[in-house]
A and B are shown apart, each in its own frame.
Chain A
Amino acid sequence: MALLTSIAPVFERELRSKVRTPWPYIEALADPLLLLVLFAPLVAGLGDVPGLPDTDTIQWFVPGMLVLMVFTTAAFIGSGLQEERQAGSMERMLVTPVSRFALLMGRVLRVMAIVVVQSVVVVAVTVPFGLQVHLDGMLVAVVQLAVLAAALGIASLAVGLVLKNAYAFWGVIAIFYTPIIVTSGALLPMDLAPGWLHAISRVNPLAHVVEAQRTLFAGEFGHSSIILGFLVAGVVAAVGAVVGTRAMRRLSL
């Protein structure tokens, strides 16, 4: 209860600080929507390719785009924490009774809430272009995206805390960005990949979530990939939470 009353103002502050400027959402939505417009037709034009459905490319493509959107929304929030630490507002909040954990969780919750709204927007925009929505599947899919957002968000915060400066943070992002996007299988099926690249995609948490999302959007529930998607996101979240809270507790300014 005490934790909840601490998280609430952190969450509200995060939400309010972004609510009057559209840029964070343009940044997060532009990429998946532009890929949908510019890249999906190329995928559709590939024709008979292993891992791709014969028809209905959009049904295959949209779930991947949602995962990429979660990535661009959640994976960079560590830099916001760094900025506040640099500026002095983090210090100000650290000298209040609010727990360190709440300072992280408020941010994570904000990202989860935003991701849910953005997912609904992406789906709503693509339905006219032929996306079929299975309501129950989509509901679970959105929950899973929110869990993934929490996992990536907390991991990003942990990285932001451990690496003190912005250069290091963006350096790490630059190293991981392309491999994570490419091996997620969101753009092209990993069935096309040579063995070594396919192996890399197996350790990419996003790849598992992309597969889970595709099953869910197809309205299939029995598939093991769904559980695996949740599991992988959960593991990332757990590791991030442990590293993040520990770094936060040790944080001295």
Chain B
Amino acid sequence: MIRTQNLTRRFTLKKETVEAVRGIDVDVQPGELVAFLGPNGAGKSTTLRMLTTLLPPSAGTAEVAGFDVVRDPVEVRRRIGHIGQGNGSLDGLRMNEELTIQGRFHGLDRTTARARAAELLDRLDLSEQADRDVARLSGGQRRRLDVAMGLIHRPRLVFLDEPSAGLDPHSRANLLEHIRRLHRDDEVTIVLTTHYLDEADAVAERVVVIDNGRIIADGTPDQLKSKVSGDLVTVALAENDDSGAARDVASRVPTAHDVEAGDSRLSFRVENGDAVLPDVVRALDSAGITLRSAQVKRPTLDDVFLTLTGRSLRDDD
């Protein structure tokens, strides 16, 4: 669906050249749900703008839905849905008007566009507001209208730029559910950008972490977490005196690192902590160490980002 090679974008601001995107190589297969995750200004949106033909690349190539974004932008536009960061509807127009006209922009005739608009409004729970001026919609409704406009021509590939930015938690959960359903039921390939960790974690099957215009990690949320820092295993010991022996046991576990013991407590990081835990418990047991409790904590994507860049994503918000 998407294939980029060395995709690069430079901006010149006050005679200073800023490299917003520095050579992105990414392949997205049909049916994937990918999140571009990164802090504000990382180059996620710029990358998306190049993929959606809104911005010509300074260097490199991108093939989207079978066509080159520079050579055949119109063919790309025919085949993709784009839900931008801003507000896609104009005050003074009614919801079904904007939607029907958007369909006609895509070459649907009036009747087809109208039927498709009604179908989408129903699907996105907007039927009751169909005749309402978009100025009188709530933030969540307006955002869902944007999504509907991006889907009017049944694209097989949909881009969403910061889809839930500025929404309240309830509208956000609702929107993400619609995105998930679109992917699951219609097998639409989806690429979204976000700087919300939990959003990438909750919705995406694949997360591409972008920082400073480069891809710094790429994989399923679980892969990223296990690859980068490992799960945190914590064991509470009955006797503080066992700490030293417990440390020895933990150190022998393959891939274990950051082993710390003391204060009736043993902790270490290890890949695939869930699978390792029973072995650790047995090993501690046969070493005659009594434990009171054990827990495995998966790293968050923020741990991943922190390990990769030394910065926390949350600092941004």
A contact residues vs B (CB 8 Å cutoff): 5-6, 8-10, 12-13, 16-18, 20-21, 84, 86-89, 91-98, 252-253
B104 within 8 A of A: yes
B54-80 interface (Cβ within 8 A of A): 54-56, 74, 77-78, 80
Partner of B89 from A8, A86, A89 at Cβ < 8 Å: A89
Contact yes or no, B53 A8, CB < 8 A: no
Contact yes or no, B101 A97, CB < 8 A: no
Contact yes or no, A89 B86, CB < 8 A: yes
Partner of B90 from A9, A21, A87 at Cβ < 8 Å: A87
What's the least CB distance linking B134 to chain A, in Å?
A: 10
B212 within 8 A of A: no
Partner of A17 from B54, B90, B150 at Cβ < 8 Å: B90
Q: Which residues of B contact A253 (CB under 8 A)?
A: 49, 54-55
Partner of A91 from B86, B93, B102, B104 at Cβ < 8 Å: B86
B31 within 8 A of A: no
What's the least CB distance linking A69 to chain B, in Å?
A: 22
Contact with A along B13-55 (1 / 0, CB 8 A): 0000000000000000000000000000000000001001111
Contact yes or no, B84 A88, CB < 8 A: yes
Q: Which residues of A contact B91 (CB under 8 A)?
A: 17
B244 within 8 A of A: no
What's the least CB distance linking B193 to chain A, in Å?
A: 14
Partner of B77 from A5, A20, A96 at Cβ < 8 Å: A96
B288 within 8 A of A: no
- A interface secondary structure, majority: helix
Interface-central residue, A18, A92, A95, A252, by most chain B CB under 10 Å: A95
Contact yes or no, B107 A97, CB < 8 A: yes
B218 within 8 A of A: no
What's the least CB distance linking B281 to chain A, in Å?
A: 55
The complex places the Cα of A153 from the Cα of B84 at a distance, in Å, of 28
Q: Which residues of B contact A92 (CB under 8 A)?
A: 82-84, 88, 102, 146, 149-150
Of chain B, the residue at the smallest CB distance from A99 is B74
Contact yes or no, A17 B77, CB < 8 A: no
Ordered by A's residue number, 28 sampled pairs between the chains whose C-beta atoms are within 8 Å are A8-B104, A10-B105, A12-B101, A13-B90, A13-B98, A16-B92, A17-B90, A17-B92, A18-B92, A20-B92, A88-B84, A88-B85, A88-B86, A88-B87, A88-B88, A89-B88, A91-B82, A91-B84, A92-B83, A92-B88, A95-B53, A95-B54, A95-B80, A97-B77, A97-B106, A97-B107, A252-B56, A253-B55
Of chain A, the residue at the smallest CB distance from B91 is A17
Of chain B, the residue at the smallest CB distance from A251 is B54
Contact yes or no, B93 A16, CB < 8 A: yes
Contact yes or no, B105 A97, CB < 8 A: yes
The complex places the Cα of A12 from the Cα of B98 at a distance, in Å, of 10
The complex places the Cα of A122 from the Cα of B97 at a distance, in Å, of 31
Of chain A, the residue at the smallest CB distance from B153 is A96
A94-B105 CB under 8 A given contacts A17-B92, A88-B88: no
Q: Which residues of B contact A93 (CB under 8 A)?
A: 105
What's the least CB distance linking B166 to chain A, in Å?
A: 12
Q: Which residues of B contact A21 (CB under 8 A)?
A: 92
Contact yes or no, A9 B92, CB < 8 A: no
A89-B92 CB under 8 A given contacts A96-B77, A96-B106: no
